[in-house]
């Protein structure tokens, strides 16, 4: 499988997936900054290539700071090394985001009049294009014909979405969100022949994500701050590592490409979906923040302030993780998450025992940039055998892989903390 490690130094990219990130001249170019950051955080060596006109929308200095090597905009940037040849030969994947109508036309015609199109023509690596343009352009027959040509040549197209466009218009043509594009790139990297044997191939992984909502009336509900980012990151990481993934989620975040997704809202719905899917799972990762309490009575009509303050009586929800522990079959690996604000280690160890799980992933959500709704996390993983490992502040994708690194050796009857051999 693709071996990914948190990005730390500017190097040649040896031992890491090499992705050329092409940016053409469209307003959606600002989203390419997020794509670059997410790929680097996932351990990918990113070589940014901007067209000259793209630099009118985003500065090369931003990509210099976030990418794995200096940004290039011209075939004359590195004359001695022939940049398009170097990039085309080194690339494991080339992704163009945004891909404007002009870029798609030049690529389909085989034109090579700047560094980006020259690299596209010079590479044998898989190519992903992410179109972005106004609705009228997206629907033009010439654009559709160019995309059909590129698809026939094996190019992967991540289609645009409906939404707000430049100038305030609303319609189709809005570039796919960075998270969706990054997941497509990582999934493609994981499928490459050079990626090796995925360590979760043939395994079925069930992941829960997001915070549940418990209704008070048709308008109001009780919930928590969970965004579902960490659970979705675990699902995406398991997919990259070859697993068949079922994701039970309350989140509206983009769905990991290739996952079977079950959408739920309440703790009761989460319980039904998780317990139903758990029987066939080799690994269950309960990353969801399930409500501990719900209103005992839910009114059919909206409560009004003029009627006075209502008496809100709460009752406990069922403990899904504990029930999974009671029902687990031999060989199944069970992982829980504990979001705490105090006595993190004490509380996590207690939950580890009480729930009957193999691993408890704990984090202090009161710490800066940790936990709910952040793109980063810092966790401590407690094993049932007493082992403890820490993951310092990292992108949630890196945290997801670190957790799965602890899971893999348990699948064949190993002990927590045995190590998976990943770097």
Nearest to 173 by CA among 121, 101, 105: 101
Residues 248, 262 contacting (CB under 8 angstroms)? yes
Helices (H), 135-210: 135-138, 141-152, 178-191
3-state secondary structure of 194: helix
Report the candidate in 49, 37, 357 with the shortest Cα–Cα distance to residue 181.
37
**Distance (Å, rounded) from C-alpha 251 to C-alpha 244?**
20
E strand or H helix at 115? helix 115-122
Looking up tokens 């992705």 gives 19
Q: Which two tokens stand for residue 220?
A: 């109001």
Retrieve residue 402's tokens: 């670190």
Phi-psi region of 264 (alpha: psi -120 to 50; beta: other; left: phi over 0): beta
> Which active-site residues does the annotation give?
224
Is the link from the previous residue into 98 a cis peptide, with omega within 30 of 0?
yes
Q: For the chain, state the CA radius of gyration.
A: 23
CA-CA-CA-CA torsion for 413, 414, 415, 416, nearest 10 degrees? -110
* Strands (E) located in 303-419: 314-316, 333-340, 359-364, 376-383, 388-395
Q: Give the list of residues 6+ apart from residue 70 with CB closer than 8 angstroms, or none.
A: 64
Q: Tokens for 54?
A: 């793209």
Of 218, 416, 185, 401, the closest CA to residue 298 belongs to: 218
Q: CA geometry: angle at 346 spanning 343 and 352, to 5°?
A: 130
Give 10: exposed, middle or buried? Use CB within 10 Å, 0-12, 13-18, 19+: exposed
Ranges of H-type helices in 241-319: 267-278
């Amino acid at each position: 499988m693709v071996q990914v490690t948190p990005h730390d130094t500017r190097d040649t990219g040896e031992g890491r997936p090499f992705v050329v990130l092409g940016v053409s001249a469209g307003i959606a170019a600002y989203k390419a900054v997020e794509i670059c950051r997410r790929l680097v955080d996932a351990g990918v060596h990113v070589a940014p290539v901007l067209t000259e006109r793209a630099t009118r929308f985003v500065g090369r200095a931003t990509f210099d700071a976030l990418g794995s090597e200096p940004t290039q905009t011209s075939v004359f940037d590195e004359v001695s090394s022939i940049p398009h040849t170097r990039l085309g030969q080194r690339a494991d994947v080339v992704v163009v985001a945004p891909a404007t109508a002009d870029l798609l036309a030049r690529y389909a015609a085989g034109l090579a009049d700047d560094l980006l199109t020259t690299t596209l023509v010079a590479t044998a690596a898989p190519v992903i294009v992410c179109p972005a343009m106004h609705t009228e352009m997206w629907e033009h027959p010439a654009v559709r014909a160019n995309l059909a040509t590129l698809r026939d040549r094996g190019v992967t197209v991540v289609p645009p979405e409906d939404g707000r466009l430049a100038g305030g218009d609303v319609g189709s043509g809005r570039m796919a969100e960075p998270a969706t594009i990054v997941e497509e790139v990582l999934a493609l990297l994981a499928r490459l022949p050079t990626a090796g044997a995925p360590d979760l191939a043939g395994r079925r992984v069930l992941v829960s994500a997001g915070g549940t909502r418990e209704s008070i009336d048709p308008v109001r509900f009780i919930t928590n701050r969970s965004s579902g980012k960490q659970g979705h990151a675990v699902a995406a990481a398991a997919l990259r590592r070859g697993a068949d993934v079922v994701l039970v989620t309350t989140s509206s975040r983009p769905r990991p490409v290739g996952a079977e997704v079950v959408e739920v809202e309440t703790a009761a719905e989460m319980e039904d979906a998780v317990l139903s899917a758990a029987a066939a799972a080799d690994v269950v990762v309960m990353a969801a923040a399930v409500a501990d309490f719900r209103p005992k009575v839910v009114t059919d009509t909206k409560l009004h302030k003029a009627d006075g303050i209502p008496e809100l009586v709460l009752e406990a929800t069922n403990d899904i993780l504990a029930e999974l522990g009671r029902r687990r079959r031999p060989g199944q690996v069970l992982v829980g998450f504990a979001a705490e604000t105090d006595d993190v280690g004490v509380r996590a160890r207690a939950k580890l025992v009480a729930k009957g799980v193999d691993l408890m992933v704990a984090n202090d959500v009161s710490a800066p940039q940790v936990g709910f709704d952040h793109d980063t996390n810092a966790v401590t993983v407690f094993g049932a055998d007493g082992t403890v490992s820490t993951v310092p502040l990292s992108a949630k994708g890196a945290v997801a892989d670190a957790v799965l690194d602890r899971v893999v050796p348990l699948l064949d009857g190993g002990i927590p903390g045995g190590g998976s051999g990943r770097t």
